[in-house]
Amino acid sequence: MTIVVVGSSNFDFAARVAKLPTPGQTVSSQGYKTGPGGKGCNQALAVRRLGVSPVFVSKVGDDMLGNQLIETLAAEGLETNHLIVADEAQTGIALISIDETGENMITVVGGANMTMTRADLHEKQDLLRDCDYMLLQLECPVVAIDCAIKYAREGTATVILDPAPVADLIVMRDLLAHTHIVTPNQSECLALTGIDPVDEATARAASIKLHEMGPKTVIIKMGCAGAFYSSNGQTGIVAGFAVDTVDTVGAGDCFNAGLAVALHGGQSINDAVRFACATGALSTTNNGAADAAPRLEDVLTLLETGAA
Ligand code: RIB
């Protein structure tokens, strides 16, 4: 029983600013924090902290930042033997600004992530076919993501696609046609459906459009308002958890990790979305992306007591 994560690894540089800059503006910061990031890496590390050892397929450069990422992941107990070191590309980085409210702006330099090829995944095809859940995002080339989905569907895996960042709509339609579970946040949902899911009624309307594109399960992440789900005729909204938020950068990734771990553990869709909401919410109480991923015992406490 495995969870496979195929996706990006970045080295994140995050600076706190009073206000996010507007175009052409320069703002200053008192300091910055570095750490593991990239949507794939964040999801993989969060899965690990929730007690499941995922297979993580990703690419880094043959450079200092790549080595540091590999060391950090290994120290967390994440198996790094499926990380591929690219010959001629730098490790991906993300330049992040976070304001006083926890809102952020991110510039990603994809680097080695954008060199992932079908040939890379061909080498891992047995793992990709044999897994139970496959977590994907869109910070690697679409041909690679498409290929990962193909292998997953040749086997028995449930494909969970985080449509982040949203690609061209024609590409998105192709990917969604073969996706089992799609998990957009509100802005991704708006980009995919034209509907801004601000409440249950609008989320339901958007979910109908997303179902028409292929996924049997649609989960819309609504930030502190929680999440809406629609799966095999069952729909519902799970309320968000009230926590002291300092940084939301890794929240969406931690949500998806929580979802996969809970479904992998046999939880119902409602319980799995609640577990995912708790995982995402807790990640916002710490600084960093992958670094902020919560541990299983803290998620269970939040679920039980409603307090972090
Ligand atoms: O989803 C958050 C992630 O987006 C950050 O860790 C950053 O690396 C970017 O990929």
Confidence of residue 102 (pLDDT cuts 50, 70, 90): confident
Residue 68 · residue 95 · CB < 8 Å: no
pLDDT at 241 over 90: yes
Predicted TM-score (pTM) of the model is 0.97
Which residue matches tokens 């609504």?
Answer: 222
User: Which runs of consecutive H residues, i.e. helices, occur in the chain?
Assistant: 39-49, 64-75, 118-122, 125-130, 142-154, 169-176, 186-193, 200-212, 251-264, 269-283, 296-305
- Tokens at residue 84, please? 């591929």
Q: Is 254 helix (H, G, I), strand (E, B) or coil?
A: helix
**pLDDT at 1 (0 to 100):** 65
Compute how many other C-beta atoms are within 10 angstroms of the C-beta atom of residue 307: 9
Domains and CATH numbers, the chain: 3-17+31-305 (3.40.1190.20)
User: What is the Å distance from ligand 1's center to 226 Cα?
Assistant: 20
Closest ligand 1 atom, residue 8 Cα: 10
pLDDT at 292 over 80: yes
User: What is the Å distance from ligand 1's center to 111 Cα?
Assistant: 14
Q: Which residues line ligand 1 (CB under 6 A)?
A: 8, 10, 12, 37-39, 42, 94, 106, 108, 139, 249-250, 252-253, 289
Average of pLDDT values for 285-295? Answer: 96
Closest ligand 1 atom, residue 139 Cα: 10
Average of pLDDT values for 144-155? Answer: 97
Q: Which residue has the higher pLDDT, 241 or 101?
A: 241
Phi and psi at residue 267, to the nearest 5°? -70, 155
Average of pLDDT values for 208-216? Answer: 98
The verdict on whether 271 is a catalytic residue reads no
Confidence of residue 103 (pLDDT cuts 50, 70, 90): confident
Q: Please tell me the least confidently modeled range out of 113-122, 282-291, 299-308.
A: 299-308
Compute how many other C-beta atoms are within 10 angstroms of the C-beta atom of residue 204: 17
Nearest CA among 49, 47, 38 for reference residue 7: 38
- Tokens at residue 200, please? 């249950």
Torsion region of 233: left, alpha or beta (phi above 0 gives left; psi -120 to 50 gives alpha):
left
Nearest-5° angle of CA 46, CA 308, CA 34?
45
The C-alpha atoms of residue 104 and residue 231 are separated, in whole angstroms, by 31
User: What is the Å distance from ligand 1's center to 181 Cα?
Assistant: 21
**pLDDT at 307 (0 to 100):** 73
Closest ligand 1 atom, residue 94 Cα: 8
Closest Cα to atom 7, ligand 1: which residue? 38
